[in-house]
Structure 1
Amino acid sequence: MQLVLTVLEITAPVAVLALIGFLWVKTGHEYRLEFVTRLSMTLGVPCLIFTALMKTTIDPKALAALSLAALVGYAGLTALFWGLCRVLGLNMRTYLAPLIFGNTGNLGLPLALFAFGEAGLGYAVVIFAVMAVLSFTFGLWLVAGGGSPMRAVKEPMVGATLLGALFLWQGWQTPVWITRSLDLVGQMAIPLMLITLGVAIARIPPQGVFRAVWVSLLRVAICVAVAWGAGVWFGLEPVALAVLVLQLSTPVAVTSYMLAEKYGADAPQVAGLVIISTLLSVVTLPLTLAFLI
């Protein structure tokens, strides 16, 4: 019961802020989607990623072992979800990246801390760093529909992720006044993204919601199986294995919607995946944690 309440406490703000965006549009107010998207993706999110990585202390041995397991896990998810999209006729640009990359930051990190303590949080941050690099390079390439890899490299989020990883690796810290400034900028990212998400939800057709339900359920089963297989293959100790399974099975990340909006994929469909998978996680994540614990 405590796990269910914890997940509800973490996911409730997602629903509340999305509802604000939904009602804002439905009541006829103006919402400049392009401006908010650009502000979030080029300023807010990069600051959020950099400060999160810089402030985390990582055990070098855990970083090496778990990073390899996470890379193999994401490679497996990529192969399986690519095949699933082909079989079901789902658009690759719209569905593939959101299916691969979950909400390992806002949802995965707090859950790992609650379930497994400081050790679990350390492992969770390693996976978050791996996901961030892959999501904002390979994931961007998928959503953008191919093109030159330099298109992804020039993305501010990629630079923030790599710079944050460098600071994490070297144990560096920015001066206090810079860190606090970056924190303030980064804190605006999540509320803006969630409100914008609610705006997109207002445009989702009924069939989009139905599809999001069964795709989200199928996604959870595949993610748990792949993460478990990767962890066992690398012989991870129990807590590291549990955190790997937890992180890879988190619901679709809000940033997936923002990338779809920015690069012209079917953003309302992705928004449906974000909301439905997050709501389903109230049930699926406690069940997964109960199995792992």
Structure 2
Amino acid sequence: MLLALTVLEIVAPVFMLGLAGWTWVKRGAEFRVDFVTRICFTISVPALLFTALARAELDPAFFASLAGAAFAAYMLAALALWVAIRLGKLSVRVWLAPLVFGNTGNVGLPVAMFAFGDEGLALAAVIFAVMACLSFTVGVWLVSGGGSPAEAAKQPIFYGAALGLLFALMDWELPSFLMRGLDLAGQMAIPLMLLTLGVSVARLSVKGAGRAIAMSVLRVILCGAAAWGAARIFGLSDIGRDALILQLTMPVAVTSYLLAERYKAEPSEVAGLVVVSTLVSVAAIPLTLAAILEGWLP
């Protein structure tokens, strides 16, 4: 009972705000996703990443291990999911990037913060930064066939994370009035992203539900195993391992649908995958948290 209450305290705020966004749209109210998303990824998320990382006490060796483990975990997950997609006779161009690069921003950051506090948020931010760089390069290349490494350097979240890490590692500090301003900007990020997630799920339709359910469950298992394996290889601490597993098992991101729409990579299939994996996460995230909190992981 105590474990259930602890898990509920962590996930309830996340799902409540997502449900609020879903209800908002279902009641016919206007919500301009493009505008809110631009605000998030141009202003609030970079500010959140910077403040979370700049305040973190990051040991350079630990940071290198965590970043390396995150990169290795995504590569292992990509390999395992590529095999699964080929065995299922599905399109690699359509399915691989959405399955590999999950919703570490909208859902992963708040879950890590509620589960592990400020330290967990800082660790999740490092993993999110690695994922964002891979998603805007390898991910775009997979979906479109023509991504460029320079694409990641165009994203404000890249600079927010990079500067935050630099300030943490060099033990620099900004004037208090600047940090307070960035704090205010960053505080917008999590509620806006969760509301947007609910809105997006409400507006998307499901196609191929059975296939989407199977692949959503399989991605949780394979990505979780990849994260656990990479954590063991790089010798991460328990909290580093837990943050990595939690981030990699997040549901499919709404941005995967936007990329599929942009590059005509069967967006209806990806839309169904986003909706179904988000619904699967209602059970998957609490189960993952229970395994972490109870020390069931070897």
The TM tier, using the shorter chain, reads 0.7 to 0.9
Contact 2:54 2:165 in 1 (8 A): yes
1:107 aligns with: 111
1:176 aligns with: 176
Corresponding letter in the other structure for 1:156: P
1:283 aligns with: 287
Contact 1:99 1:252 in 2 (8 A): no
**Alpha-carbon distance in structure 1 between the residues aligned to 2:261 and 2:194:** 19
Contact 1:82 1:96 in 2 (8 A): no
Alignment length, in residue pairs?
A: 282
**Alpha-carbon distance in structure 2 between the residues aligned to 1:174 and 1:270:** 42
Corresponding letter in the other structure for 2:258: E
Residue ranges of structure 2 left out of the alignment (5+ in a row): none
- Name which of structure 1's ranges 21-30 and 150-159 shifts more when overlaid on structure 2: 21-30
1:137 aligns with 2:138: no
Matches within 5 A, 1:169-208: 169-207=169-207
Contact 2:213 2:277 in 1 (8 A): no
2:56 aligns with: 56
Contact 2:58 2:168 in 1 (8 A): yes
1:166 aligns with: 166
**Alpha-carbon distance in structure 1 between the residues aligned to 2:200 and 2:86:** 26
Corresponding letter in the other structure for 1:268: A
Contact 2:25 2:31 in 1 (8 A): yes
Corresponding letter in the other structure for 1:175: P
Contact 1:82 1:92 in 2 (8 A): no
Contact 1:7 1:282 in 2 (8 A): yes
**Alpha-carbon distance in structure 2 between the residues aligned to 1:77 and 1:6:** 29
Corresponding letter in the other structure for 2:129: V
1:239 aligns with 2:242: no
1:292 aligns with: 297
**Alpha-carbon distance in structure 1 between the residues aligned to 2:289 and 2:208:** 23
1:84 aligns with: 84
Contact 2:52 2:125 in 1 (8 A): no
1:157 aligns with: 157
| 1:225-280 deviation per Cα after TM superposition (whole angstroms, max 9, x unaligned) | 2233223334x266257436633554237xx3246437746473454256224312
Contact 2:48 2:189 in 1 (8 A): yes
1:257 aligns with: 254
**Alpha-carbon distance in structure 2 between the residues aligned to 1:248 and 1:176:** 31
TM-aligned CA deviation for residue 48 of structure 1:
1.1
TM-aligned CA deviation for residue 288 of structure 1:
4.5
1:272 aligns with: 275
**Alpha-carbon distance in structure 2 between the residues aligned to 1:26 and 1:215:** 27
2:221 aligns with: 221
- Name which of structure 1's ranges 85-94 and 61-70 shifts more when overlaid on structure 2: 85-94
**Alpha-carbon distance in structure 2 between the residues aligned to 1:217 and 1:249:** 13
1:96 aligns with 2:93: no
TM score, norm. by length of structure 1: 0.81
**Alpha-carbon distance in structure 1 between the residues aligned to 2:51 and 2:9:** 23
**Residues 9, 55 of structure 1: CA spacing in aligned structure 2 closer, same or farther, 3 A cutoff?**
same
TM score, norm. by length of structure 2: 0.80
**Residues 187, 248 of structure 1: CA spacing in aligned structure 2 closer, same or farther, 3 A cutoff?**
closer
**Alpha-carbon distance in structure 1 between the residues aligned to 2:84 and 2:279:** 19
Contact 1:137 1:158 in 2 (8 A): yes
**Alpha-carbon distance in structure 1 between the residues aligned to 2:244 and 2:148:** 33
Name the % identity: 33
TM-aligned CA deviation for residue 182 of structure 1:
0.7
Give the aligned CA root-mean-square deviation in angstroms. Answer: 3.0
